[in-house]
Structure 1
Amino acid sequence: MKKKNLGYTMLMLLVMTGFAGTVNLNPLTKKEKQVAVDHLKQSKDDLMQSVKGLSDNQLNFKPSAEEWSVNECIQHLALTENLFWESMNKALKETPNPDKRTEIKISDEEVLAKMASRDNKVKTFSTLTPDNSTFTTTKEALDVIKMKRKTFIQFIKTTETDMRSHVVNSPMGMVDAYHLVLMNAAHTNRHIQQINDVKSHTDFPKR
């Protein structure tokens, strides 16, 4: 009887303090975590490989006045790495809204494919253009990307948050907080393609 009363008392305390409403019933599955971690790691590694050994002359080569150099792509990626982290955390701080999941019309695979595809032309927010970067060198921007990506990966590995129940609006329509993580990795892949296009330009410096 005492144990029963104790259990009831604990339940009432949880309800009154609000903790009962914060229990995460649907944390990410092992597969979901692994998919996100794999994409975050691979895209970061591919980015580092794409710029490895490039000289300052090569990093700053612009195919045209309107097109970005490799360095400018990196500056942009450093800015967006921070933005995706802030956006994810902002979404997770909001009250869970699982009822909004019915408004999500895009799958994980489609998020990855559409964000990475350069066929889908998207105008960059002015705050995310290289001109607004405060990073003085390519190395500094790359270091920011590596540091923030490590934070992303550690978060995904350890979180028990129900990321699927935090639904927000995005340029792709309604998505959940987990989708924002996938977007980050795919966005990196998008600009790796751009970097490779710059490197394959006929006037790209030999060194």
Structure 2
Amino acid sequence: MKKLILPFAALILFSFSADTTKLNEQDREWMLKHLTETRNHMTQVLEGLTNSQLNFKPDENSWSIAECVEHLAVTENGFGGLIQKTVGAGPNPVLKDSLVFKDEDIMANISDRSNKVKTSEAFEPSGQFESFENTLQAFLEKRNAHIEYVKTTEDDLRNRYSEDLPFGPVDGVQLIIFAAGHTERHVLQMEEVMAHTKFPK
């Protein structure tokens, strides 16, 4: 009997000692705030736009509003995979002192439109969703899934780290805030398109 009890006890001990710290409720509320607010900002900007407005381009090198939405749908899906990878990798406290952002700076830095960044080809709009309605739905489904994850997870996101973003390491909480800031960046881009003098009325 002792031989059976000891391995079982060791298994239970390992399952709890591997990661006993849970997500801080303040961090949870912070992530939910930005994920929700940026989603809502986007849907408010898109409300009532016609096809000609959605597809208007200020110039040949600019994206239309519809293309911005497609980029967001593709990248939101990419963030989903990155969040899973980050959580699945387990704790890596050696990276704690290597973070490139302070929490209070991350939204402003990512959404800053004065800092121009060219996306990689994989995230370029290509019409893959076939219609604007499908594109928007794809974004909303993935964003809502991320919101539900944040509402319910006990994963210690402050002790999970990603080195997959181009500027350097972030922790799991910052990664999710980055996703929200990325949305806001492109919603601001949509508003710039709408402010163009030739934007269809």
Shift of 1:140: 0.9
1:57 matched to 2:56? The reply is no
TM-score (norm 1): 0.89
C-alpha contact (below 8 Å) 1:39/1:182 kept by paired residues: yes
Measured in 1, the distance between the counterparts of 2:172 and 2:133 equals 29
Give 3-state SS (helix, strand or coil) of 1:130's partner. coil
Give 3-state SS (helix, strand or coil) of 1:173's partner. coil
Q: Alpha-carbon deviations, 1:37-90, whole Å to 9, x = none?
A: 011111001100101101101100000000000000001000011011111111
Q: What does residue 83 of structure 2 align with?
A: 88
Shift of 1:21: 4.4
Corresponding residue to 1:12 among 10, 13, 17: 10
C-alpha contact (below 8 Å) 1:98/1:164 kept by paired residues: no
Q: Match for 2:188: what amino acid? A: Q
Q: Match for 1:142: what amino acid? A: L
How many residue pairs match? The answer is 197
Q: Map of 1:156-195 to 2, 5 A cutoff?
A: 156-169=150-163, 170-195=165-190
Give 3-state SS (helix, strand or coil) of 1:179's partner. helix
Q: Which runs of 5+ in 1 are unaligned?
A: 1-6
User: C-alpha root-mean-square deviation of aligned residues, in Å?
Assistant: 1.8
Shift of 1:92: 0.9
Q: Which runs of 5+ in 2 are unaligned?
A: none
Q: Map of 1:1-207 to 2, 5 A cutoff?
A: 11-15=9-13, 18-22=14-18, 24-131=19-126, 133-169=127-163, 170-206=165-201
Measured in 2, the distance between the counterparts of 1:134 and 1:99 equals 40
Shift of 1:129: 0.5
TM-score (norm 2): 0.91
Shift of 1:8: 7.1
